[in-house]
Amino acid sequence: MTLDRTAFFIDGDWAAPATGDTIQVVSPHSEQVVATVPEGSRADIDAAVAAARRAFDEGPWPGMTPEQRIEVVQNFSNLYAAKLGEMAEVISTEMGAPLSFSNLAQAPAPWMQIEAFLGIARTYPWEETRAGALGEVLVRREPVGVVAAIPPWNVPQFTIMSKLVPALLAGCTVVVKPAPETPLDTYLMAELLQEAGVPAGVVNIVAAGREVGEHLVRHPGVDKVAFTGSTAAGRAIASICGEQLKRVSLELGGKSAAIVLDDADLAATMEGLKFTALMNSGQACVAQTRILASRANYAAVVDALAETVAGMAVGDPLDPATEIGPMVAQRQQERVEKYIALGQEEGARVVVGGNGMPDGLSCGWYVRPTVFADVDNRMRIAQEEIFGPVLSVIAYDDVDDAVRIANDSEYGLAGTVWTGDVDAGLDVARRVRTGTYGVNTYTMDFAAPFGGYKSSGVGREFGPEGLAHYTELKSIYKP
């Protein structure tokens, strides 16, 4: 089966690109080209926005009842559910996620989002009557308009669905700009949208790089930008949207802390941290890469973490046994290796890992999963998002000190506490300034809002709050 493509999905059909530029999708494992697809230009974005604009301004989608839109999105969900295995394999092929993670999160979790938003939409107050001070007021929630949805490469379908599905249910039309590293999954998604009966122009997909992405953000035909990615890129997008008074929601970076209290079951904690700290080979904004341990229990936590990480299988992402795969690109491999070298320069101690290829591998953009001990929270490896399998163990004096260290970050996206006392864990959770938090676990419940404090973003995804970002409020005053 070839993964090569020659067109974009624009105005309900496959459209020839405006230029002959192409993107070569390279396997992070083999370093071989696995597919060639067109690379979007400004002209392609213009065509996609024009189609979305027509579909919103003239087409049936915004004027359909919520129930009619729900029916179409339910068709899409049913079709998507039948393609989970194929979607997982495509994403592992293009960006190197271990297939075990793709079968858990890269494909099923996006489908779970669709179903969750469908449930929310069925009871959402699209129109309600309120008793006002001067009489009855009709409050409507109407679609915000044309949405530019810009996902990153690390969890492409997951981050697309958090934008696409609420936008569709609200009556918006959408232009999706996938990252150039991960365009392949969106072709499968487009085929399912087409088969589901989504009207022409309601969803348009053009893969492109950063400069063309900026053209989409600035485009006067776009009413709202929904972006997931780095904090630096988020700041630039927020600046543009601020100038234009354009609606924007941003899900950005993180440097989350996992606080290990002394009464925690250490074996269970380590099993939990394998996922919460190293999911997707560490390429996750919510990864808990700062491990906080008390001075009294520090050596035990370091030893347990070192044993856990050293025992994780590193290799071919399509091998079901693999737990840590390659980095998405050579530049990401180089970035992580520079941070590993920097950590040693800063005085941190490598307990497991370090620079160099993992044992048994001679090609691919791999790094050795690394655990640093003797880390001060002021070090760059403790403050900056590395986006790879690199963990820093930081000592704290008492619970108050642990909370202080956890909060000593420009980010506030996620976090966990590990303890035998759930009430004590909840007390810690209430004090750490992050948008999401877990006690003895970390997960995302699609009925609840997800997003960050501080430099981790603006706005929320999932839940009714996530749907609300794609609506405008209108008050109609009755006589």
Give catalytic residue positions: 251, 285
Give per-residue burial for 52-74: e unless 16+ CB within 10 Å, then b: bbbbbeebebbeeebeebbebbb
Distance (Å, whole) CA 75 – CA 305: 45
Asked if residue 286 lies in contact with residue 242, where contact means CB atoms within 8 angstroms, the answer is no
Q: What are phi and psi of 361, to 5 degrees?
A: -120, 135
Among 297, 305, 378, smallest CA distance to 343 is for: 378
What's the first-to-final CA gap in the chain, in angstroms?
64
Neighbours of 123 (CB within 10 A): 8
Among 173, 161, 148, smallest CA distance to 76 is for: 161
Q: Which residues have C-beta within 8 Å of that of residue 443, sequence separation ≥ 6?
A: none
Helix pair 156-170, 184-196: axis angle to 10 deg: 30
Q: Is 137 helix (H, G, I), strand (E, B) or coil?
A: strand
Asked if residue 53 lies in contact with residue 146, where contact means CB atoms within 8 angstroms, the answer is yes
Asked if residue 56 lies in contact with residue 172, where contact means CB atoms within 8 angstroms, the answer is yes
Burial (CB < 10 A; 0-12, 13-18, 19+), residue 121, is buried
Phi-psi region of 222 (alpha: psi -120 to 50; beta: other; left: phi over 0): beta
